[in-house]
A and B are shown apart, each in its own frame.
Chain A
Amino acid sequence: MKKIYTRPKSLKRTPFHYCPGCGHSITHKIMTELIDEMNLQDKTIGIPPPGCSVFAYNYFDIDMAESAHGRGAAVATGLKRAYPEAIVFTYQGDGDLAAIGTAETIHAANRGENITAIFINNAVYGMTGGQMAPTTLLSQKTTTTPYGRDDKIEGYPIKMSEILALVKGSAYIERVAVNSPANIIKAKKAIRKAFQVQIDCLGFSMVEILSPCPTNWKMSPVESWKWIDEVMVKEFPLGVIKDITGKKDAG
């Protein structure tokens, strides 16, 4: 019988520790599928962040190294410059990439570092228990904005993809979501393109992934998928934000 579906080779046979409905497991799966499809398992190095996905190295069957909070882009820069043959990606949450690591991220992009950032935006700090993220929406309740995020006190949700698109060294930036089969397919295409941009040495690439966090959003998985569609994409519209390759669709 023809096998049409199997566990990706680059995905370890370890049960995910992520909560039901979490976007990390979906993202891990499509990334490891891509690593297989693009034949990158023996040259890819991943830099996971502190946070829920610190355990990414338990699932990706590739070389991986932990990074300090927010420093992924700097670590990836050092690694890629020292060993340019590697395909290097950072895997970062919104607190990591858009708050504590803003400087590292912007400057890595501005230098046109040939690295790929996988940016998980779930509008909340996950592992620490649901505090406000830089991407938390206005009036969204978190444990540190118990009355809802107020722009007069906490400012506005920050749009890293749009900011990084302005930086000359960035080559490809797309915002996707992992909240429906159709969107997951689009997300996979975007990550494929980001990796290809790195392989072609075109500069910094990033895929921002709107990702459900049912636990901290206090929703069911189905509700959280809907919330992305109905609320989150209004603040963070999906689509290609920057593409210097001139190719519309590499997937």
Chain B
Amino acid sequence: MAKVLMNGNSAIGEAAIRAGCQCYFGYPITPQNELTEYMATHLSRKKGCTFIQAESEISAINMVYGASLAGVRAMTSSSSPGISLKQEGISYLAACELPAVIVNMTRGGPGLGSISAAQSDYFQATRGGGHGDYRTIVLAPSSVQELADLTYKAFDLSDKYRVPLVILGDGMLGQMIEPVEFSYEAPKELIIRNNALRGAKGRTSRIVKTFTSNPATVEEINWSLFRRYQLIKQEEVAWDTFMVEDAQLIVVAFGIAARIAKGAIKSARIEGMKVGMLRPITLWPFPAEKVREVANRTNYFLVFEMNMGQMIEDVQLALEGAGEVSFYGRTGGVIPTPNEVLRVISRLYYQKGLK
């Protein structure tokens, strides 16, 4: 298929439909409405597919839970305040080992915040978010093309490990229009069907639940989840690097911030500064080993995020004191320019006496 121009939110919708997503449940919130509207237009009339504008984000995530029980690929999307409401359902999905894709086109917070792009839901996304001891896989795209590509991957990974998965985008990625090519075809037989609740025909009845009166059983559920999380950490870590080979200063940034940082790094290179970038694509599992590997070449890291400093904790944990980590962030929906980041890079570069 040829490239088409599309906004990021719609690209997720198209990719999800191509990934065989049969059910979408949403609730309007800016800046992700184009996705809900895309599904209303393109999914609702598709045979065997369902689109519902739910009465709340809580209902939407619980509808996803119901559809996932039936063994179909299902998704919901929202933005920060709405994602907070979905946390109850995400915890249940994690506990019941049900696949689901949740898109968060993050906006400025806390509270109602602003409708402009932010990355301040990093902690919420990567630490589980709801109650209990669980994780979600978190994917962080940084272009419209990657939104599409990671949407396919989201369904595949979520089905494979039977864990809910969060696509952590932001309001800018959702709104920006870029060329995108759709190339994925969903597997004919989806593994999510295997454990479906579709009536006990020709088999014994099946129960999907977490509650038991025996704490030791719940502890065992936690161990079972933990073992799966260890496997995901081994197998699914993804990242991208940009000009790291000779870099004396490494910028660590994800999503749209990485896009902005890339512009700054290109300018820094023109000015002769050896700057590179490590961009985590999976925020959980976090590419800690890759951070340590890069730290063999340089001691200087600049974490750049559109929040008050959240991913920086994962970078520091990964380095275990091995590198010197600085931070620059804008938040609340303020979008920094590449020049602003370049100024931070230059200042740091010369302060540290790098050449």
Enumerate chain A interface residues (CB-CB to B < 8 A).
41-45, 47, 50, 54, 57, 60-68, 71, 74-83, 85-86, 103-104, 106-107, 111
Instruction: State how many angstroms separate the Cβ of A243 from the closest Cβ of chain B.
Output: 25
Instruction: State how many angstroms separate the Cβ of B77 from the closest Cβ of chain A.
Output: 15
Contact B88 A74, beta carbon cutoff 8 Å: no
Q: Which residue of A lies closest to B91 (CB)?
A: A68
Given A44-B199, A86-B198, A71 and B62 contact (CB-CB distance below 8 Å) = yes
Cα A81 to Cα B49 with chains together (Å): 8
Contact A77 B52, beta carbon cutoff 8 Å: yes
Seed contacts A76-B66, A83-B72; 17 additional CB < 8 Å A-B pairs: A42-B201, A42-B202, A43-B201, A45-B197, A50-B211, A54-B211, A57-B207, A62-B199, A62-B200, A63-B200, A67-B92, A71-B62, A71-B89, A75-B69, A82-B66, A82-B67, A83-B71
Contact A65 B205, beta carbon cutoff 8 Å: no
Q: Which residue of B lies closest to A111 (CB)?
A: B52
Contact A103 B59, beta carbon cutoff 8 Å: yes
Contact A81 B209, beta carbon cutoff 8 Å: no
> What are 7 A-B contacts defined by CB distance under 8 Å?
A42-B201, A62-B199, A67-B62, A78-B23, A81-B52, A103-B56, A111-B52
Contact B200 A78, beta carbon cutoff 8 Å: no
B264 sits at the interface (CB 8 A): no
Contact A66 B55, beta carbon cutoff 8 Å: no
B96 sits at the interface (CB 8 A): yes
Contact B205 A64, beta carbon cutoff 8 Å: yes
Residues in B122-136 with C-beta less than 8 Å from chain A: none
Residues in B152-173 with C-beta less than 8 Å from chain A: none
Given A43-B199, A71-B58, A71-B89, A61 and B52 contact (CB-CB distance below 8 Å) = no
B33 sits at the interface (CB 8 A): no
Contact B55 A78, beta carbon cutoff 8 Å: no
- Contact flags B65-100 to A (C-beta < 8 A → 1, else 0): 111111110100000000000001100100010000
Given A65-B207, A65-B208, A79 and B199 contact (CB-CB distance below 8 Å) = no
- Which residues of B are found within 8 Å of A45, using beta-carbon distances? 69, 197-199
Instruction: State how many angstroms separate the Cβ of A238 from the closest Cβ of chain B.
Output: 30
- Which residues of B are found within 8 Å of A83, using beta-carbon distances? 70-72, 196, 198
Q: Which residue of B lies closest to A40 (CB)?
A: B199
- Which residues of B are found within 8 Å of A85, using beta-carbon distances? 198-199
Cα A54 to Cα B192 with chains together (Å): 25
Contact A81 B55, beta carbon cutoff 8 Å: no
Contact B66 A68, beta carbon cutoff 8 Å: no
Cα A158 to Cα B210 with chains together (Å): 31
Cα A106 to Cα B55 with chains together (Å): 9
Contact B205 A79, beta carbon cutoff 8 Å: no
Contact A65 B62, beta carbon cutoff 8 Å: no
Cα A180 to Cα B128 with chains together (Å): 49
Given A82-B74, A83-B198, A104-B55, A68 and B208 contact (CB-CB distance below 8 Å) = no
B50 sits at the interface (CB 8 A): yes
Cα A111 to Cα B22 with chains together (Å): 19
Contact A65 B63, beta carbon cutoff 8 Å: no
Contact B198 A81, beta carbon cutoff 8 Å: no
- Which residues of A are found within 8 Å of B253, using beta-carbon distances? none
